[in-house]
């Protein structure tokens, strides 16, 4: 799978007259070894902890490239920082549900939703290009039972629990 990504990147670079470099490859490896969303800074930290290295500037520059190559998407999680999602390669049309209790992000796809959006777009006189849906919701488990494993885990790992909006 990671090979497939590298192949796509190489093809993309070639069409743009750009080059394969150790830094770019290292960054790609770190990104796609997990399916976690991340910020530029988190990525840079992960690189630093790995045995390869790349400067912040290179991290930013590579992120732009990967977004342009459509291997990475910027997504809106309602945070201030840009968040990147590496999972569009596997799930090209997924959406996000954000738990406002613990911050957990679920990815989901639904063909009915896509179809409906598609129809609405055409009815307005447009040709659909991309759609993104963000749902904020409360955890039902937490509400009924007063606890939720994700929330406990978020607290343990010190994850910032979102302000309820």
Partner DNA sequence: CTGATTGCAAATGCTTTGCACGCCA
Partner DNA sequence: TGGCGTGCAAAGCATTTGCAATCAG
Burial class (CB within 10 angstroms; exposed 0-12, middle 13-18, buried 19+) of 155? exposed
Residue with the two structure tokens 């939720």? 148
Binder of residue 100, out of a second copy, DNA, none (CB less than 5 to 8 A by kind): a second copy
Q: Are strands 73-75 and 95-99 parallel, antiparallel or unpaired?
A: unpaired
In this chain, which of 1, 3, 15, 19 binds DNA, going by CB under 7 A?
Answer: 19
Residue 74: φ, ψ to 5° = -80, 130
The residues pairing with 108 across neighbouring beta strands, listed in sequence order, are: 95
Dihedral angle of Cα 99, 132, 3, 45, to the nearest 10 degrees: -50
Residues in 85-144 at the binding interface with DNA, rule: CB under 7 A: none
Of residues 15 and 130, the one with the C-beta less far from a second copy: 130
- Single out the residue of 120, 149, 152, 155 in contact with a second copy (rule: CB under 8 A): 120
Nearer CB in complex with DNA: 21/138? 21
Quick note: the x/- pattern for DNA over 54-83, rule CB under 7 A, is xxxxx-xxx-x----------------xx-
Can residue 24 be called a binding residue for DNA (CB under 7 A)?
A: yes
Cβ of 31: how many Cβ atoms within 10 Å?
24
Phi then psi for residue 154, to 5 deg, are -60, -40
User: Measured from the CB of residue 63, what is the shortest distance to DNA in angstroms?
Assistant: 7
Q: Which stretch binds DNA (CB under 7 A): 16-24, 109-117, 124-132, 141-149?
A: 16-24
Task: In whole angstroms, give the CA distance from residue 86 to residue 81.
Answer: 16
- Which does residue 13 bind out of DNA, a second copy, none, counting CB within 5 to 8 angstroms by kind? DNA
Residues in touch with DNA (CB under 7 A): 13, 17-24, 39-41, 53-58, 60-62, 64, 81-82
């Amino acid at each position: 799978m990671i090979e497939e990504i590298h192949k796509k990147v190489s093809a993309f670079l070639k069409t743009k007259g750009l080059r394969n470099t150790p830094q770019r490859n290292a960054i790609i490896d770190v990104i796609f070894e997990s399916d976690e969303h991340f910020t530029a800074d988190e990525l840079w930290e992960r690189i630093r902890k790995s045995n390869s290295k790349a400067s912040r500037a290179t991290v930013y520059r590579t992120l732009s490239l990967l977004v342009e190559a459509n291997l990475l998407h910027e997504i809106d999680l309602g945070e201030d920082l840009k968040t990147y999602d590496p999972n569009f390669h596997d799930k090209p049309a997924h959406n996000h549900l954000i738990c406002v209790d613990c911050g957990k992000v679920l990815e989901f796809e639904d063909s009915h939703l896509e179809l409906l959006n598609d129809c609405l777009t055409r009815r307005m006189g447009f040709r659909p290009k991309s759609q993104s849906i963000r749902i904020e919701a409360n955890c039902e488990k937490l509400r009924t039972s007063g606890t939720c494993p994700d929330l406990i885990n978020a607290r343990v790992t010190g994850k910032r629990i979102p302000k309820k909006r």
